Amino acid sequence: MVQNRYLIVDLAFLTMRCLGDIMNKIIALLSVFLLLLAPLTRAETLYIIAHKGVFSTQKDKKEIADFYLLKLKINADGQNVIPINLPFNHPLRSKFSLSIFNRSPEALSEYWDRMSFRGVKPPVIQSSEQAVMLFVSRVNGAIGYVSKKPSEKLNIDVLGEIIL
Amino acid sequence: MNAFLKFSILCISFLSLTTLAEEENINSTPTTPPNYESNWDVSGYVKIFADIPTNNTKSTLYLDDLSVYVSGNINQWFNPFVEAEYFGNKLWSSQKGEGFKKGKFIFERLYNDFNLNTHDRIRVGKFLAPVGYWNLIHAAPLVWTVHRPLTSTYSYSNYISGLEYGHSLNLIEGSRIDFYAQLSNDLNPKPLSDHPRRYSKVIGASWTLSDQLDTRSSLDFQYAKVKTTQNNRLTVSFQKIWYMQTWDIDTQVIYTKITNTSAEDNFDGTIDNETLANEEVLRENGWDGGGYLQARYRFSPQWNFYGRGEYFHLAIEQQSGQSYILGARYRLGKWGNINLEFKQGNGAKQISDSGFSLSYNAMFR
């Protein structure tokens, strides 16, 4: 990351030297300033994870949504898929809801309550990201989401990365 | 110990063991192994409401619903669902001599699903008739208003005691078709004081056009023979719901053609007192029908506002009726919701009551 920053700074000053007029220098300086700030405001990444071997390919948002909306319940091998959720007030759940479904956690909560009343089991709740990772690594068929890339030592596949 | 007391104790015990929650059961310690061994889901809901009429009649406080439902997803052939409900418990009335009145207990749903494959299912037992979405999700915390529209409940058999075959046309879009039949009497029916009629035979079909996060629509048919009166009721219903970012729009229209050409001639004298009290006995041909349009606005995560207009025509009444509802729901987070609602009705007595209602309702799991 630090090497990247130096490279960016070098490129910017090189650009400035090539530019003759003051206006261009100001623009270039501003660009440098913004580029240096960029790593500080780096976007958060959401990792969609699954128990190792549940899916052989990466999944896009639509496919992930279908499992969380309880439309799809089994994978290609006929194995039950168990979606895992974070608690209602967890900030990552809010980001997941907006990113995957374009809906608030309240709207999804209403949807899952309706499904539960009709006899369809809603996603299993785990209290923290750590608990989600533990669950997914141990329970065959589980899928979840976390904000940190899981260790390769864990029994987990990353199905997709979503920049928030 | 009577059934009422047993059920009360069961519910209180259950409530004391569960945490009221919106939709979740949270593991307390993240470092312990996950406890996903259960294929069972135990949930329930409660609704307490006060009716304060504006026409100077009595105000009443009800424990309207206390329901526990258990669903199991065990294997392809064993997927039971049981819902036990205690309802209609009058807790207090402003009129002297009309205080506490105990409620009633029924099994609202009791069935098993046999999953033939991912697209086909057979359901056997007592279940909710798929006529409009309101009938399928009528629990107080899942619907917006304290008062249920007459359109969603009055003119058809709400429950089926029999079997249903369902075929999913598209799993993702949620389109499916269901056929169902009840060939005998209702199983564990609600008293006629709470439900307009009982049925001896019912057949029907429901075509769910879509059932997704942002929309749901269905076209439903039902043919029902009313027990004792020999009335035949042929119902067609259409419902469409839009779930948007801040708005929900919900509408349903229903029409029921009632025929009764032989009741007086064929009446066999076995009618019971309960049915005699019902105004529908031996009445003439006619139709029930109407519709409603309801909107909900999500002002904030806590505050929701809603309104509804409904028109309904009843064969047993000289005049049709209309009602208008305005209300607000405040979410208490995991502790449920509080509704404050005003209803203005006129015309037929089944729809014409007016006044304020205050309701507390919550899901628990």
User: Residue ranges of the alpha helices (H) in B213-278?
Assistant: 263-266, 273-276
The minimum CA-CA distance between B342 and chain A, rounded to whole Å, is 23
Interface check for B171 against chain A (CB to CB < 8 A): the answer is yes
Question: Is the pLDDT assigned to residue B69 strictly greater than 50?
Answer: yes
**pLDDT bracket for residue B196 (50, 70, 90):** confident
Nearest alpha carbon to residue A129 among A77, A80, A93, A75: A93
Partner A contacted by B115 (CB < 8 A): no
Residue B276 has pLDDT above 80, yes or no: no
Q: Which amino acid is at B8?
A: S
B229: confidence class by pLDDT, cuts 50, 70, 90: confident
Whether residue B170 lies within 8 A of chain A, CB to CB, comes out as no
CB contact under 8 A, B27 and A106: no
What's the pLDDT band for A15 if we cut at 50, 70, 90?
low
Cβ pair A111:B213 closer than 8 A = yes
Quote the tokens at residue B311: 């028109």
Contacts of B79 in chain A (CB under 8 A): 119
Q: How far is B119 from chain A (nearest CA, A)?
A: 11
Instruction: Count the neighbouring beta carbons within 10 Å of the beta carbon of residue B28.
Output: 7
Please count the residues of chain B: 365
DSSP label at residue B174: T
The model carries a pTM of 0.81
pLDDT at A17: 61
Going by pLDDT thresholds of 50, 70 and 90, the confidence category of residue B2 is: low
pLDDT the model gives residue B94: 84
pLDDT for residue A25: 66
Cα angle at B48 between B44 and B53, to 5 degrees?
Answer: 150
Q: What percent of chain B has pLDDT above 70?
A: 82
State how far the alpha carbon of B108 is from the alpha carbons of B147, B242, B270, in Å.
19, 28, 26
Task: Answer yes or no: are the C-beta atoms of B29 and B35 closer than 8 Å.
Answer: no
At which residue do the structure tokens 């879009």 appear? B173
Phi, psi of B245 (to 5 degrees): -60, -50
Rounded Cα distance, B87 and A98, in Å:
38
Going by pLDDT thresholds of 50, 70 and 90, the confidence category of residue B230 is: confident
Residue A90, φ and ψ in degrees, nearest 5: -70, 130
Q: A2-18 vs A22-37: helix axis angle to the nearest 10?
A: 170
Answer CATH for B117-364 from 2.40.160.10, 2.60.40.10, 1.10.287.130, 2.40.50.180? 2.40.160.10
pLDDT tens column, A99-128: 999 999 989 999 999 999 999 989 999 999
Q: Which residues of B touch A110 (CB under 8 A)?
A: 142
Read off the pLDDT of each residue in B7-26 and give the average, rounded to a whole number. 44
Residue, of B33 and B234, whose pLDDT is higher: B234
Distant-in-sequence, close-in-space partners of B335: CB < 8 Å, separation ≥ 6: B20, B362
In this complex, the residue of B27, B41, B333 whose CB is nearest that of residue A116 is B41
Q: How many CB atoms lie within 10 A of CB B164?
A: 23
* Contact call for A131 and B139, based on CB within 8 A: no
* CA B135/CA B140 separation, integer angstroms: 12
Looking at chain A, which residue has its C-alpha nearest residue B301?
A106
Contact (Cβ atoms closer than 8 angstroms) between residue A135 and residue B36: yes
| Strand-pair category, A156-163 with B60-72 | unpaired
CA distance A18 to A34: 20
Q: How far does the CA of residue B328 sit from the closest CA of chain A (Å)? A: 16
Residue B230 Ramachandran class (φ > 0 left, ψ -120 to 50 alpha, else beta): left
Which residue is associated with the tokens 């919900």? B250
Closest by Cα among A148, A127, A145 to A136: A145
- If you average pLDDT over residues B226-240, what whole number do you get? 90
- Asked if residues B53 and B353 have their Cβ atoms less than 8 Å apart, the reply is yes
% of chain A at pLDDT higher than 70: 74
Residue B29 has pLDDT above 80, yes or no: no
The model's pLDDT over A47-95, given as tens digits with 9 standing for 90+, comes to 999 999 988 888 888 889 999 999 998 888 888 899 999 998 899 999 9
pLDDT tens figures, B133-183: 999 999 999 999 999 999 999 999 999 999 999 999 999 999 999 999 999
Q: Tokens in use for A16?
A: 């400035």
Supply the pLDDT for residue B18: 44
Residue B279 has pLDDT above 50, yes or no: no
Q: What DSSP state is assigned to residue A123?
A: P
Flag whether pLDDT at A5 surpasses 90: no
Burial class (CB in 10 A: 0-12, 13-18, 19+), B171: middle
pLDDT tens string B288-324: 999 999 999 999 989 999 999 999 999 888 889 999 9
pLDDT surpassing 70 at residue A96? yes
Average pLDDT, chain B: 85
| Average pLDDT of every residue of chain A | 82
State whether A138 and B113 contact (CB < 8 Å): no
C-beta separation of A84 from A124 below 8 A:
yes
Q: Could you say which of B73, B172, B301 has the minimum Cβ distance to residue A106? A: B301
Confidence of residue B110 (pLDDT cuts 50, 70, 90): very high
- Among partner residues A101, A108, A121, which is closest to B73 by beta-carbon distance? A121
Strands, E assignment, chain B: 40-53, 60-72, 79-93, 104-115, 120-128, 159-170, 175-182, 199-211, 215-226, 232-243, 247-259, 286-298, 303-313, 321-331, 337-347, 355-364
Residues on chain A touching B362 (C-beta within 8 angstroms) = none
Give the number of other Cβ atoms within 10 Å of residue A152's Cβ.
Answer: 7
Mutate to test the interface with A, among B18, B25, B27, B300 (most CBs of A within 10 A): B27
Dihedral of CA B296/B297/B301/B304: which sign?
A: negative
